[in-house]
Chain A
Amino acid sequence: MTDAPVIEMKGIGKRFPGVVALEDVSFACRRGEVHALVGENGAGKSTLIKILSGVYRPDDGEVWIDGRPVAFRHPVEAIAAGISVIYQEFSLLPERTVTQNIFLGREITRNWMLDSAAMCAQTRRVLDMFGAGRRIDPDALVADLDVASQQMVEIAKAISLDAKVLVMDEPTAALNEAECRELFETVDALRAHGTAVIYITHRMREVTRLADRVTVLKDGEIAARFETLPEPSAIVHAMVGRDISDFYAPFATADELGKPVLSVLGGSNDALHDIAFELRAGEILGFAGIQGAGRVALAMAIFGARPFESGTMTLAGDSVRFTHPRQAIRAGIGLLPGDRKGEGLVLMQSVRDNGMLTPRAFGNLFSSHRKTAFTDLAGMDRLLDQMEVKAASYDQDIRFLSGGNQQKAIVARWLALKPKVLIFIEPTRGIDVNAKSGIYRLMRDLAKEGAGIIMISSDLPEIIGAADRILAMRGGRIVAEHPSGASETAIMLDATGEQEAAV
């Protein structure tokens, strides 16, 4: 850890038309070190990494590797120099095996024939190097692996390329708790192996678990640099420029909780078994669990997208049965999908059109798009104003907005209908810290106005901080109930059903 840095970026500056993306940023990483690079969305982290990996060229400054300056003209040159980046979207070929992916483009041959045995053996050796050998078969198809294993294949590919520097860009974004733990162990193994790891994240838990050093970027400049691991609050303070004390909104008080607005009894379908719970008006009810525990299936069942096959559901005192989302929406249920781009937004349409989508969907097909039974354009603008959606104009395509502002526009879609129940699936995924806080407050405000809120999240600290009551799910069942502010360990234990889960 005392040796000279493997890579060093000196005084990097990068400008795009109209924006300074990076200004005088210096950053170094040594062998066997995990250097966390944190910052909000738009802080410049990805731009910095794209310069390091040869995607962009810097306007100012230099990149040094092993004490020599380099100027990459193409990502391939960076890879050859020993820099591997693992992006959030994987670059694996799903219909090829693990080995074929790792040796893609540099297959080992003997007598002009592919030497599968040699490649397979090397793959096994690389996988074993960080303990992935026991869970990944070199001959398995990548498409058959879970997300965590696919990520390990990416890492194995980087190692087999002899990467001196491994950059991981928010590697836990798609992982559940158990998979995260495996990833952390992998990173530990890489550090022990002497790889320099640059770890990009905005989750404090990961920083405290993994980092040796921390650099905070804000608005394209270095906001803080910590040579030893600081208190998380110091990092957050540097990131957002304020204290975190009021990060979550206060829990509901007893008199803020109203009558039960939604209850399910004995709800079952192919993914869910004997679901029973009650949601009260004014309450935020959290659903915790690992991926595949049935939380999203439950949301889709309530919403009528993948209905319950048996059991009863009561909404505001009326017995209901939904077989299609339109029935659920008409009865007063709204849903914010977990995959914002894939399931939530119509990206090429304006902010206003995204907000008006649901009101229009319940209007007459052939009547004017300016006015529906629920709201008109002016009303939608007021809703968007109220939620402080930041856009150059509400006529702007929504794809240009940040994640937090996009999420608010989807909320506006439902608010116009004044729903009795709102289901938030992963409401803060991919949203920066400041905007997260805004979403928690928004959920609390909606609850105070009398809606029942269901919150589904894989981010345990946020469920604990935001929900008034937490139900843990496992294998399609609700297995336990926890009060607000319960301990992470206790919930994890129920969610995984294993003792060892309590790290």
Chain B
Amino acid sequence: MTDHVLSAAKPEKARGLPQINPVYFLLAALIVAIILNNPAFVEPTGYMNFLKRAAPLAILAAGQVYVIVSGGFDLSVGSLITLVVVGSSMLSNNDPNATGWVIAAMLGIGLAVGVVNGLVVCFLKVPSLIATLGMMITLNGFAFMWSGGAPRGYLPDSFRYFGRFNIMDIPVIRMLPVAVIVMAVLGFALYWLMHRTNLGRMIHAIGDNPRAAQLAGVPVNRVRITAFVVSSLSAVVAGILLGGFAGVSTDVGTGYELQAITAAVLGGAQLLGGRGSVPATIAGALTLTAIFTLLNFLGLPQPVRQVVQGLILIAAVALAMYRRKRTGQ
């Protein structure tokens, strides 16, 4: 009753001041800080390389937010990236002509991983945190087995094109990395799917209240499995970019699952589901990359990154909870 009374005044306020997601302000502030530290950042080589470096995480996080909004987590994406990079190098075996079918095969693996994750969560009723944790360990094992523990460190240039190549001699911006094009195209596609289709609205609904969604006729299992598939496929794409960018190793994807979750949370996605935005998540991924970049400039060692990332995750969720409490559940 009191909530009711309290809320009567709220919509007015919400309409008067359109809420801008704080992640955009944070990102803007960080970019200013980077520019102050390194004026070369305003050159195309500066910001384009930044975007290129951020692209895999941005795509991965944009996929992860599907699972988060549907009310789950996908921890398997990091080791799926590793599997994609290792598997691609094994399958293509230095043959530049193999790239096409190798990428198709990797997308096939991603599809299978997503479907299995979804089926385990939907039908075996294993909580997604555990189901995808199991998948993460399993895929890591597969990656090791496939490579025999020592991956052959090559990927053909035709494969590495996506992660590494820059299109040069473009007016104004001078260079445009292929990875940035992939990020833009996929980012827009994922934005469209999440915010402009029936699927997207239903992902929100099942994350908000699965029982209500089911009784309203939502095909809950189909929607949930689709969310996992989107996440896995985005991991495959992120893996293809990282393979091109960073080369082959058995720990290339390590830790990416948590970075993706952190990015989604920075973008204001509600843990436990029901709310989240693809553009804000991509901004969250850029924010995280900007923080890492800044720490690099400041000469702080690698472990500091982990400390900072952990604190950001906690702070972002705490802030979200506080805001939620203030707006009355």
Contacts and interface: CB of A to CB of B under 8 A. Distances in A.
B217 A337 contact: no
Interface string B205-216: 100110111111
B197 interface: yes
B208 A349 contact: yes
Interface in B194-211: 196-202, 204-205, 208-209, 211
Contacts of A337: 212, 215
A344 B215 contact: yes
B275 A348 contact: yes
A348 B197 contact: no
Given A343-B209, A356-B201, A369-B196, 15 more contacts: A16-B5, A18-B8, A42-B4, A42-B5, A44-B1, A50-B2, A305-B215, A342-B211, A345-B209, A347-B208, A348-B204, A366-B197, A367-B197, A400-B11, A413-B216
A289 interface: no
Contacts of A19: 5-6, 8-9
B10 interface: yes
Interface string B3-17: 011111111111100
A46 B199 CA distance: 40
Interface stretch (A96-104, A115-123, A357-365): A357-365
B5 A44 contact: yes
A363 B223 CA distance: 12
Contacts of A138: none
A18 B201 CA distance: 32
Q: Which of A325, A348, A362 has the most CB of B within 10 A?
A: A348
A334 to B, nearest CB: 9
B219 A47 contact: no
A361 B216 contact: yes
B232 interface: no
B212 A343 contact: yes
B270 interface: yes
Interface string A324-365: 011001000001010000111111110001001110111111
A353 B205 contact: yes
B interface SS class: helix
B15 A42 contact: no
Contacts of B19: none
B198 A367 contact: yes
Contact of A21 (B5, B15, B211): B5
Among A343, A361, A369, the most chain B Cβ lie within 10 Å of the Cβ of: A361
A195 interface: no
B244 interface: no
A191 interface: no
B274 interface: yes
A349 B270 CA distance: 12
B5 A353 contact: no
A60 to B, nearest CB: 17
Contacts of A347: 208-209, 274
A42 B209 CA distance: 26
Interface residues of B, number: 43
Most buried by A among B8, B209, B216: B216
Contacts of B152: none
A111 B270 CA distance: 50
Contacts of A361: 198, 202, 213, 216-219
A17 interface: yes
Interface in B208-246: 208-209, 211-219, 222-223, 226
Interface string B294-329: 000000000000000000000000000000000011
Nearest to B206: A346
B219 A326 contact: yes
A316 to B, nearest CB: 19
B274 to A, nearest CB: 4
Contact of B216 (A21, A357, A396): A357
A326 B223 CA distance: 14
B252 to A, nearest CB: 32
Contacts of A360: 198, 201-202, 218
A17 B226 CA distance: 43
B215 A325 contact: yes
A301 to B, nearest CB: 14
A393 interface: yes
Per DSSP, are chain A's interface residues mostly helix, strand or loop, or mixed?
loop
Nearest to A45: B1
Contacts of A363: 198
A273 interface: no
Given A16-B6, A16-B9, A357-B205, A365 B217 contact: no
A354 to B, nearest CB: 9
B215 A41 contact: no
B215 to A, nearest CB: 6
A392 interface: yes
B193 interface: yes
A349 B273 CA distance: 11
Task: State the 9 A-B residue pairs at the shortest beta-carbon distance, nearest first.
Answer: A18-B9, A392-B11, A346-B208, A46-B1, A361-B217, A400-B7, A365-B199, A348-B274, A360-B198
A458 to B, nearest CB: 19
A346 B197 contact: no
Contacts of A356: 201
A386 interface: no
B130 to A, nearest CB: 23
Find the residue from B2, B11, B14, B199 having the highest chain A CB count within 10 A: B2
A477 to B, nearest CB: 25
A397 to B, nearest CB: 9
A312 interface: no
Contacts of A396: 11, 14
A212 to B, nearest CB: 24
Nearest to B223: A365
Contacts of A26: none
Contacts of B211: 342-343
Contacts of A346: 204-205, 208-209, 212-213, 274
A455 B270 CA distance: 36
Given A357-B205, A400-B7, A18 B216 contact: no
24 contacts: A18-B12, A19-B6, A21-B2, A44-B1, A50-B2, A326-B219, A342-B211, A345-B212, A347-B208, A349-B201, A349-B208, A353-B201, A353-B205, A361-B216, A361-B217, A362-B217, A365-B198, A365-B202, A365-B226, A366-B199, A368-B196, A370-B196, A392-B15, A400-B10
Contact of A357 (B6, B218, B275): B218
Central interface residue in B193, B208, B329, by most chain A CB within 10 Å = B208
- Most chain A CB within 10 A, of B2, B217, B275, is at B217
A372 B218 CA distance: 14
Nearest to B4: A42
Contacts of A16: 5-6, 9
B60 to A, nearest CB: 22
Interface string A292-325: 0000000000010100000000000000000001
A39 to B, nearest CB: 9
A41 B1 contact: yes
A402 to B, nearest CB: 6
Contacts of B6: 16-17, 19
Interface string A381-424: 00000000001110010011010000000000100000000000
A335 B215 contact: yes
A362 B2 CA distance: 37
Contacts of B219: 326, 361
Interface string B141-155: 000000000000000
Contacts of B216: 357-358, 361, 413
